[in-house]
Chains A and B, each alone.
Chain A
Amino acid sequence: MKKGMNGRAAVFLGAMTLAIAGPLFANPARDAIIAKYASEAGVSTFSAKRGKALFMANHTGGKPTTPSCITCHTSNLRGPGSTRVGKPIDAMAVSVTPSRFTDIAKVEKWFGRNCNSVLGRLCTATEKGDVLTYLSSL
């Protein structure tokens, strides 16, 4: 009797975990940030594929020490990155660092800094949306 109860409890807990973990990837604050970029760009969806291409590519317009996003974040986005002075950077993949991209001020600060360092210009709303969509899918 008791065993049966435990089995049912396990199923219930499993369902609860899925119910919580599902929205974890679709955090409302992050959704709002992506929606804001979508309205700025005048589009309805972003492309994770384009985001990945931008993130992984080598660029020439920025500062010579940082030609790419992966100079610091590394190509393994589920693992930690490292700043140029060796300070670890939390993994960019939302599945590993669930708090990523939930604070608009922070997201804007780092896009502002890093787009300038890597590209030598500000990123467009489309580029920001693409990158966020890509990193949220990881």
Chain B
Amino acid sequence: MSQPSEKTATTRIWDIFVRMFHWSLVAGIGVAAWTGFIIGPRALDIHVWIGSLAGALVFLRLIWGFTGGTFARFSSFLTGPRQTIHHLRELADKTAPRHLGHNPLGGWMVLALLGVIAGLAATGAYVLGGTFHAGPLAGWVSTSSGMGLRELHEVLAILLLVFIAFHLAGVIFESYRTRENLARAMVTGSKEMRSGDEPQTRLAARPLAFVLTGVFGLGLAVFSGLSMSHRTPPNAPVSVVGTTYEANCTDCHMAYHPSLLPASSWVQIMATLDDHFGEDAWLPPDTVTEISAWLGAHSGEATDSKPALVFSQLNSARPMEITETPFWKRTHAHLPEDMFTTPPVYARGNCAACHEDTKTGWFYPPNIHLPE
């Protein structure tokens, strides 16, 4: 039995940029999904960086869509509804031809994937800016509106997974239908030449235009992002360092940031210092007056931050205890009980044992380091 050793003629379809873009995006979306869906807030920094890179990749792909060669160009694969319906009819009749580049459905898939990823990058920057007051929009978005857009970011993330599933299904279907391994073509860049291939007048890529536009566009994005990120968020948490509050209250415990409780809770705490969570924490009256005024001026109501917002919802039976709030309980429920009763944490109220930035009032998730 002999194998035909005739070498099939191939033709280059996917250029090196399209292939690098595709597989980098696969890796990037993989890491973003893993950090976003599975690891959670602790991996926020990685998630943000990989999301920014994905956004940059999509941006470059958009430019390549106008400056790349034939098969990379949107004009070669984005078709109107009439041609798309025609393609669907052909598929139903089993008369659809093989397409060297994207078929009409594949073209729409590309646009949908690029659009959703761009939307994820944009909503991600918005959520990051508002929720954690980090990134380019740190000083431009309020906490509540940033947190409000988180759901949309999540919906887009799920939509992306659905689109990826469609994309894979389409690739598998088309590979079987046309007896051609499309995934391998995205690796090698080449497809087999066949009789009946559509005649092509191939457009040449314009790499110089691509590089110039890409460098200029990304440079502008990075520059404006960095410039924008310098804006101080309005009503940011006050600094605790050097205050009378810090000097007196940190003798026994960490400095609970004034924004972690509403003013009414601080009033109650300062009025009951003789029985302060089971101890006498007496202070001279003038010190009490000074600290009370400072706490009132920088309480949760006066601060725009995620901790201030989430801890404003108190446990009405125990309004002086941050660790009794629904948010605290929900976000700490996964931690083992004995972690809070043994060194080096000792107590639920010792936030600083794990949160490195308690004094700033931000409580940024990547600054959490659980004890060994």
Contacts and interface: CB of A to CB of B under 8 A. Distances in A.
B340 to A, nearest CB: 10
Interface residues of A, number: 16
B105 interface: no
Nearest to B274: A116
A83 B282 contact: no
A83 B344 CA distance: 12
A113 B282 contact: yes
B350 interface: yes
Interface string A82-116: 11111100000000000000000000010011101
A64 interface: yes
Nearest to A63: B278
B346 A63 contact: no
Contacts of B3: none
Contacts of A65: 278-279
A117 interface: yes
B280 A85 contact: no
Interface stretch (B5-13, B149-157, B213-221, B249-257): B249-257
B345 A114 contact: no
A95 B116 CA distance: 68
Contacts of A85: 252-254, 346-347, 349-350
A109 B282 contact: yes
B353 interface: yes
Nearest to A65: B278
A114 B343 CA distance: 23
Contacts of A74: none
B279 A86 contact: no
B226 to A, nearest CB: 39
Contacts of A116: 274, 280, 282
A66 interface: yes
Nearest to A86: B346
Interface of A: 63-66, 82-87, 109, 112-114, 116-117
22 contacts: A63-B279, A64-B278, A66-B278, A66-B279, A82-B346, A83-B252, A84-B252, A84-B346, A85-B253, A85-B254, A85-B349, A85-B350, A86-B344, A86-B345, A86-B346, A86-B347, A86-B350, A109-B284, A113-B280, A113-B282, A114-B280, A116-B274
